[in-house]
Amino acid sequence: MSFLWGVMGGPSAGPQPSGAETIQKLCDRVASSTLLDDRRDAVRALKSLSKKYRLEVGTQAMEHLIHVLQTDRSDSEIIGYALDTLYNVISNDLEEEEQEENLTKVDDLGSQFTEIFIKQHENVTLLLTLVEEFDFHVRWPGVKLLTSLLKQQGPQVQQIILVSPMGVSRLMDLLADSREVIRNDGVLLLQQLTKSNAAIQKIVAFENAFERLLDIITEEGNSDGGIVVEDCLLLLQNLLKNNNSNQNFFKEGSYIQRMKPWFEVGDDNCGWSAQKVTNLHLMLQLVRVLVSPTNPPGATSSCQKAMFHCGLLQQLCTILMATGVPADILTETINTVSEVIRGCQMNQDYFASVNAPSNPPRPAIVVLLMSMVNERQPFVLRCAVLYCFQCFLYKNQKGQGEIVSTLLPSTIDATGNSVSAGQLLCGGLFSTDSLSNWCAAVALAHALQENATLKEQLLRVQLATSIGNPPVSLLQQCTNILSQGDKIDRRGSKVQTRVGLLMLLCTWLSNCSIAVTHFLHNPANIPFLTGQIAENLGEEEQLVQGLCALLLGISIYYNDNSLENYRKEKLKQLIEKRIGRENFIEKLGFISKHELYSRAAQKPQPGFSSPEHMMFDHEFTKLVKELEGVISKAIYKSSEEDKKEEEVKKTLEQHDNIVTQYKKVIREQDQELEELKQRITTLMSQNEQLQATVTQQVSQIQQHKDQYNLLKVQLGKDTQHHNSHGDTFQMNGIQTEEVSKLKEELEEWKNKHELLQGQIREKDFLIEKLKSSQLEIGTTELSSQSSRSGGLEHNNELQKELEMLRSQLQLQSAEISQLLIENQKLQVMNTTSDPVLGDSGAIVAKSSELEGQLEQQIKELKSEVKALSEEKESLKQHLDSSSSTVAILQDEKIKLQQEVAESKKEQDDLLVLLADQDQKLSALKIKLKDLGVPTA
């Protein structure tokens, strides 16, 4: 009882036990007590001691606590106490005072206890099942404990969860929990779970994480939200950073469009809270993750287009030009806009059209360049503007041309009312601030990057140095400042200015023979370069020496030998005499060996900690890598090899010209084809329209015809209505038509009558012949009775047909007699009618015409009679052949009957034999039975 009083805080008579002893007794109680209440009290006591006696509780009680988690699942209270105790033991989140005292021990203890806990993988699986419980006192401590395990031993715990069935899916349910505490801690848990594990990141993303996280951010108020928005944004960064699959899923799911409301800022941007600044900073970083230059080009391009179409780029440009935006947010916005427009022509064109809200309005590019060349602006902001300008010009020949055009004499604003981008760059290039010199030189170099045409055009730029002196070219002014070196008093690093100018000159002269010729035309340039390379200067000056060697090498490699005194061979001899080839190559190697060169080569964005470290540009490092090898080879080449190389170059140029000509021809043909296709499509559409109109007109014509015929029929009916025997003829000519029609019908009936009479005569003739043939057949033998019967049947059929024809003839003769009577009546009426009906001459003509038609019909009837006689002959032949075949078939029938009779006789014989055999078999079986032999 004294022990219980000590634990529960009651008075104790004896000496107080130590913490380790108390913990030991509590552990024994947890292990041995049969009552759940006792075990619960003991675990509660261990929880209260776990923060103070972390080591003792961890070493003695961990096994018992895990056992409680396994056996006492039904009691949520004891499970909650056990989970809290384990969290206190494993977690390193101690009080501030304890942290200061135990700072070195904290990490080791947490890591060691985590390792003990996860040694048995079943413990982590058990914890995942407990996290599924809805009870707040179980789920929340379970989430905290799992988060702590991931913090201590992330990769190991991630692997256990990954192989656990539905492990990640169980944890995703935490985001849907209605209790904000569990949901928010679930976000923290998923942050730890998704760190540096692409497989888990993909599973979490496909478990609808993007939708849920964006919903939480919206519910919390976007950028105005609290720490929960920050945690969600950090989790989104984990899921998207360096994970191309998730980035594509994010874009395809139209989640980029849901980012636009994040960047809606009001007119009054004063007094932003620290949390809002943090949230907006993370939101901008999330946009940059999607369009990072390190992503695959296709994925970056599709995200850039999506951001333009949904209005996200426009929203970012609004923040860029807004007033009152905090400096770090403005800097990050500039960097974000830079990467959204980098290499995307559509976005670059839009950015070129953005104007600042000033009076008069100025392009956003000009406003940004003003900040870049202003030495009072923060260094980080100036770096961001330079990066934005570089991204605007990256793979943008149109933008490069617009920048260079502001420097050319024909386009400079004579009134001087507005400042152009070219004027700002020239001002920065020749100012007394070394950082402005470097930034302007790099910006101008990007305007010339991979664009030989603009390199040639820039040679036309003339600068007015002072009143009364003639203008000098931009190239000449750059070399003048370079040669003056330390004589000009500058703020900042003097080496920085020279490095910037040398980078500009190297970019300008590379791959442009005309610029090399202009550079060599100044007699002071080559002696200056050889003098710089040959001197033994300090470590800082070695970088300048390397760049001078590179510029001299470019002057040799891209030299077209147009200047006699500075031909390739003479420049090589000069290097060998004044510097030495080995020494020249060594100085050239100073560039790539420099530490700042390696830093600049890593990524496009200028990431310099201080202005003194701004020495190299990312694109320039690519140029050095490309030219270093070819210049080294060019120095050691002989004149003959140079000649051969020039010949090869010329032939290649010729081939290139031919190829360009063919490309031009093909392009023109493509245009012509497109035009012809368009014409074909227009003609086809016109043809279809015309066909439609034609069909419509045809249908209309048909309708009109039908209407006309209908009216004609109706008119005919009206005119025939009053015809009768006693009526007088009308004067409209309709009665004469009726008379002619009746005459025609009469002639037709006559013809039909004659035709039928001819057919009857033919049939009579055929019957007589058949009768005579019948008499001949009657004298034949009895074997021809079948053929005679066939003939008699045929004769009967013919007689029936004859009777039918005679009846038809009688009917037709009666009809003809009626028609003749009507005809006589009509003739009488016709003779007594008005002479207007026609004269007798016309009737005679008509009768002669009818006679001719009758003669023609008679000829046709004769031909038909002839055809019938031929048909009769063929029938007779067929009758003869059929009679012969009947005789043959009768003979075959007799033979077959004989064969059948023979086969029946043979079958009877066989049946007799079989009966004898059966009798013999039965007798043999009886004998075998008598002999005692078994039979089957």
Query: 345-355 pLDDT, tens per residue?
Result: 999 999 999 99
pLDDT of residue 793: 54
| pLDDT higher at 684 or 493 | 684
Output the DSSP codes for 386-417. HHHHHHHHTT-HHHHHHHHHTTSTTTS-SS--
CA distances from 586 to 529, 580, 593, 741 (A): 15, 10, 10, 125
The mean pLDDT value for 206-230 works out to 93
pLDDT of residue 912: 81
More confident residue, 870 or 198: 198
Closest CA to 291 of 342, 333, 348, 334: 342
Closest C-alpha among 425, 452, 455, 422 to residue 441:
425
Distances (CA, A) of 522 to 42, 410, 473, 527, 576: 94, 25, 11, 10, 21
- Stretch 88-93: mean pLDDT, rounded? 86
pLDDT higher at 709 or 385: 385
Average pLDDT over residues 7-28: 68
Q: Of the ranges 321-325, 483-487, 608-612, 683-687, which one carries the lowest mean pLDDT score?
A: 483-487
Lowest mean pLDDT among 150-164, 670-684, 920-934: 920-934
- Break the chain down into helix, strand, coil percent, rounded to 5: 80, 0, 20
Cα distance between residue 10 and residue 16, in whole Å: 12
Which range has highest mean pLDDT (66-80, 534-548, 852-866)? 66-80
Q: For residue 839, what pLDDT is reported?
A: 42
Instruction: Give 62-84 pLDDT, tens digit per residue.
Output: 999 999 999 988 899 999 999 99
Task: State the average pLDDT over residues 725-748.
Answer: 53
pLDDT score at 851: 60
For residue 688 the two structure tokens come to 């279809």
Which tokens sit at 878?
């067929």
The residue with greater pLDDT, 790 or 153, is 153
Question: Which pLDDT does position 188 carry in this prediction?
Answer: 95
Q: What is the mean pLDDT of the chain?
A: 82
Determine the Cα–Cα distance for residues 573 and 557; give it in Å rounded to an integer. Answer: 14
**What percentage of the chain reaches a pLDDT higher than 70?**
78
pLDDT of residue 843: 44
Instruction: Give the residue-averaged pLDDT of 314-337.
Output: 92
- Find the Cα–Cα–Cα–Cα dihedral 598, 599, 602, 605, rounded to 10°: -140
Tell me the mean pLDDT in the region 806-826.
64
673-729 pLDDT, tens digit per residue, is 888 889 898 889 888 888 888 888 888 888 888 888 888 788 776 666 545 434 443
Chain-centre distance of CA 359, in angstroms? Answer: 44
- Cα distance from N-terminal residue to C-terminal residue, the chain: 102
Assigned token pair, 51: 């923060």
Comparing 474-483, 712-721, 813-822, which segment has the lowest mean pLDDT? 813-822
Query: What average pLDDT does range 450-457 have in this prediction?
Result: 93
Q: How far apart are the C-alpha atoms of 878 and 869, rounded to whole Å?
A: 14
Quote the CA–CA distance of 404 and 451 in Å, as a whole number: 11
Look at strands 472-473 and 462-463 and give their pairing.
antiparallel
Which residues are 433's β-sheet partners? 491
* Tens of pLDDT, residues 555-604: 999 988 888 889 888 999 999 999 899 999 999 999 999 889 999 999 89
Q: Give the chain's length.
A: 936
